[in-house]
Amino acid sequence: MAVFTGAGVAIATPFDNNFNVDYDNFGKLIDYQIENGTDAIIVCGTTGEASTLSHEEHLAVIRYCINRVNHRIPVIAGTGSNCTETAIYLTREAQKAGADGALIVTPYYNKATQKGLYAHYEHIAKQTDLPIILYNVPSRTGCKLEASTISGLVKDVPNIIGVKEATGSVSFAARIMYETQGDIDMYSGNDDMILPLLSLGAKGVISVLSNIAPKDTHDICAEFFAGNVERSRELQIRYMELIDALFCEVNPIPVKKALELKGIFGGTLRMPLSEMEPQNVERLKKAMIETGVLD
């Protein structure tokens, strides 16, 4: 059984003006997501700026999220690392905290061969009972899980159950489904490809868009699963310009600005991320107004 079905938000981590985690506003964002239909929360992923959190902060944010959610919806913790032992440590701690699953990105910078990637994930999985979702995002990591490797891991390792597929290729997603014969919980890692991947059998999306449009992102999935494909298609197309604007600079710069524009919390970023360029802010604001995300 899938950890979740539908739209999981890759939730942003708020920082205050002193660059500390802003737990008050984080709690408000979590509640806003749940109140507007988000099906799961993915904490401390790319959008959550996990790469600039210390290990202590990383785990504190995971624990806070789990406690705030309080079993209302599933919480999947981002626990990946380019160091296998670090990923094991973070995953074990997330399990102790009560996470419902772990999202584990491929090793970055040092990369690995397909043999090394298989061993990395197999070794992590043996140290936890949590369901594991592989995170395949080569544009970020410089490291790609091939479809045959994904298939082998899902077939051979009982608690490796899915993949966040963020290569940006529908063809590659179809290859994964072919290699696994559909026996995998696939989630779109790209907001502009939710419906195409649902049509291939995906269980949903792990979404940046959900931070600012949780109900409609949920509905793209819910309408599809209810058989209302035309409505799902309308929503997917309606948000294309906003999705593009959310990625006109590196994520999560635009989505944190969008959250600021909505008045949910300030858009403070930790270095090396920088303030959004003024012309891109205007583009983002325009797209938010056109879709009704911003009044």
- Which positions are annotated as active-site residues? 135, 164
Q: Which of 2, 45, 22, 29 is nearest to 185 (CA)?
A: 2
Evaluate whether 34 touches 6 at the Cβ level (below 8 Å). no
Between CA 288 and CA 282 the distance in angstroms is 10
**Coil, helix or strand for 60?**
helix
Instruction: Give the helix ranges, DSSP H, for the chain.
Output: 23-35, 55-69, 84-97, 114-125, 138-141, 147-156, 170-180, 194-199, 214-225, 229-238, 240-246, 253-261, 278-291
For the record, the structure tokens of 68 come out as 């705030």
Between CA 167 and CA 185 the distance in angstroms is 16
Between CA 105 and CA 94 the distance in angstroms is 15
Between CA 290 and CA 286 the distance in angstroms is 6
Evaluate whether 41 touches 73 at the Cβ level (below 8 Å). yes
For the record, the structure tokens of 237 come out as 């197309």
3-state secondary structure 132-199: EEEEECHHHHCCCCCHHHHHHHHHHCCCEEEEEECCCCHHHHHHHHHHHCCCCEEEECCHHHHHHHHH
